[in-house]
Amino acid sequence: MQFTRSSGILLHPTSLPGPYGIGDIGPQAHGWINFLAKSGCGLWQVLPLGPTGYGDSPYQCFSSFAGNPYLISPAALLEDGLLHANDLADAPHFPAEEVDYGDVIPWKLGLLDRAFSRFQQTASQKLLQAFEEFQAKEEHWLDDFSLFMAIKESQGGNPWVDWPAPLRDRHAPTIQDFRNDHREDIQRQSFRQFIFFQQWAKLRDHAHARGIRIIGDIPIFVAHDSADVWANPELFFLDEKGQPTVVAGVPPDYFSETGQLWGNPLYRWDVHTEDGYAWWMSRLRSVLSLVDVVRLDHFRGFAGYWEIPAGEKTAINGRWVPGPGADFFQAVENVFGELPIIAEDLGEITPDVTALRDQFHLPGMKILVFAFTSDATNDFLPHNYEPNCVVYTGTHDNDTALGWYQRVTDKERDFARRYLGRSGEDIAWDLIRAAWSSVAVYALAPLQDLLSLDNQARMNYPSQPSGNWVWRMKGDALSDRLRARLKEFNQLYKR
């Protein structure tokens, strides 16, 4: 895929405004696309779109194929006749500027259940046929996922390793009995996916019509409590009861004395190799049916990953293990042609990681809030970029630009002001200017930086287990002044 000079905004759909407690993929998302187009941007970057579980993190999903039902638009369901106005009358009083998942989730699922009932009773032949076609087309993952979620629901939401052994181990007669007894529960899960994919397809078509390409995100690892692992245990290092024997993380570094213990199960890459990485090819194909470009999270794990024995309390006692390397990306290239992949090459990057990235001409990432910690040799400073990279003012895992500037030392602030040639009074836009004017093929900023917000608007603190993923923009945030300012930058710097 040929990357061409462009710019865009990082904004997850949950952060869009609207009356229903959480941003969704309905009218507000279509309006957001229009704002991007009118401002001269060509890119919209989102986080993973999968169904979130405990902690609400899009990086720990119940499936790497499914869509998140919380993103389904009630307004679009109303338009399609699957909801009536009185279905929305009991909406709680949601806060406008953050997502209260505790209130949103039960209310939203209740709405979707009403929509499913109405679908069963009143759906047109055309809609019923579309549902059947969707189920047939997506059967390779949808069948396992809908079954997984229906069992999970019947087991009080417990992780699959805590289910009765016959369900945990997919004992064929037990599974068949469950299918017979819970046919409607399984169908309800499939229906939610059908609606999500229908609404998303409309949004993506609208984006393409306005010249906007969508950048998605693929986490390298999947959640242990997911349909992926339950349905494909042979692809992961698990014991006979489904528990991981080794788990993912990163070793101790400058940021953490004990490293990071993520806890995801690790892949048995030898098994994946035997069938040409079929599960991965299916996963990539699925994500690329939703987005145009993917950011491959923790790219370094494909060169080598940190393996930690299960049961360890920290990531200290791990070891480096070789990943699948070039063999994997060659297989991907054979299937997909030129790779529409951005390599998230942050963290402890060794020469083999850089070599793997460059072998397949993948653009890496540059983060401006990391640029001012040392001197002119810092790789994140724009004068050190090559065109085949993607520059961000910051990402969902970092301080906002203003939050960073308020937090760091006087020395770092002084270097930033001198380097940027600015007073620092409008630091977020100073960084946006530096990103947009650089040679990087893509320049992106989180919407929080365009709005010059501090760390109260930060999306995620990686070491903090709760209170993340809640930020939402105000309904009047996308002003004409903001659009004009962004358009000016796009014209000035040929974005």
CB 250 within 8 A of CB 314: no
Residue 270 among the catalytic residues: no
Do residues 402 and 454 make contact, with C-beta atoms less than 8 angstroms apart? yes
Confirm if 407 and 455 have CB atoms less than 8 A apart: yes
297 assigned to active site: yes
Provide the pairing of β-strand 304-309 with 43-45.
Answer: unpaired
Determine which one of 292, 333, 397, 454 is catalytic. 397
- 216: exposed, middle or buried (C-beta count within 10 Å: 0-12, 13-18, 19+)? buried
DSSP string of 287-349, one letter each residue: HHTT-SEEEETTTHHHHEEEEEETT-SSSTT-EEEE--THHHHHHHHHHHSS--EEE---SS-
345 is catalytic: no
Annotated active-site residue in 297, 345, 399, 430? 297
Strands 293-296 and 260-265: unpaired
Which CA distances in Å does 95 have to 22, 81, 352, 412? 9, 27, 47, 36
Spatial distance between the Cα atoms of 258 and 34, rounded to a whole number of angstroms = 45
The residue from 56, 80, 144, 344 that is catalytic is 344
- Beta carbons within 8 Å of 407's beta carbon, 6+ residues apart: 399, 455
Which positions are annotated as active-site residues? Answer: 297, 344, 397
